[in-house]
Structure 1
Amino acid sequence: MPSSRTGKLVILSGPSGSGKTTVVRKLLALAEPSLKLSVSATTRPPRAGEVDGKDYHFLSTDEFQRRQAAGEFLETFEVFGNGYWYGTLRSEVENRLSEGISVLLEIDVDGAMEIVKQYPAAVTIFLSPGSHAELERRLRGRGTEPEATIQRRLAAAKRELAAMNQYKYQIVNDAGAVNETVQRLADVIQNDSGDDAL
């Protein structure tokens, strides 16, 4: 039976190194069961340990294109260089919202802007590391990526940081204060002008 309340659509973006993965994991644990993460679809093959329907909806290129042509995605993008497609399935969002469940999308700036055109009341949040220098420190601190990859991530981050003012909320994820960041996110979602509480 459909809920009389509609869930909120929450969009979270931020550059690589801003701590999105950790923050999202903690936020979902705090907000269950009233907030669910939208699972993206992709044409890339699963990595070791990834589960279809949990980590991603793994689709063949033909299936992805069929669904794209049928209007089943809210947004799609192709990763430059490797040809893999990613997208947000309309069913992942609309079904839950109609049931009164809020949906969290962790997507890039371009995807976020595309979805805001369709959902202008979405709660948009940009997660920032605080400064470009702090972002570089975090990326280099991982010690897992070659210099070329770090430079590519830094260039992408510069473009993303330039778009942060297009988001309704900007939150700095201070190093060592992840729990405070998660609580601020939860407060923002709960207190945004919609009628539903997190």
Structure 2
Amino acid sequence: AELLDRAGWRKGPGGWRRRKCFYLREKGGKRWRLDPVKGSVPEIRPFTFQLLLPAGSSATTNLALRWRDALARLGVKAEILALEKSAFQARLFSHAFDAAFMAWSPGVDPYTSEDIFGSKGWPNGKNLGGFRDSLLDTFYAQAAAESDPARRMALYKKIFRRIHREQPYLFLWFFPDLWILKPDLRGLAFGPRGALGFTPGLMGWWAAAPGIGG
């Protein structure tokens, strides 16, 4: 609340935050930001944004509602819009959104994260928010050219520390997987993506002979 106050977002009627904003209105309803000048008339604009989420997930919907309610207590209005998968992805990849609930599955190798967080992924890749950081790009280039596993790991640690510091996403949670398995299963192996998304994965599992394994 203190940060919002300092940024000029003050609570008004109904408890919603508002701020004076200056705009130059153009044809077609488009509004372009204009620095305050003598004679300008400010527009009192509420702090509101649209939050997209994929339809069909009760867990995501419940979390979005809790987040909306928490923001409302601060005077910020989040309008939730649930879209079916194709419409949701179309909005994301055309960068036509304010905020969205989503998740990425990690690749087996961390280099796949460059398309999400690196400049190479904007605007036609998976860098949906347009985040760009020259130091992060340098680390990715160094990691791609490094063949020594230990030095490569050290570079990727730098990369993810940088991502944690700069926060291109507001990281909220990580859902753990719960697997219930029979005791006679053998060959169990889990990778960075759990039991899926790598070889042999589930195809490497097998059942022991009857009576073995309890």
Query: Same fold by TM (over 0.5)?
Result: no
* Relative contact order, higher structure (CA 8 A, sep 6+): 1
Task: Tell me which interval the TM-score lies in, with the shorter structure as reference length.
Answer: under 0.3
State TM-score, norm by structure 1.
Answer: 0.26
State TM-score, norm by structure 2.
Answer: 0.25
Higher radius of gyration, 1 or 2:
2
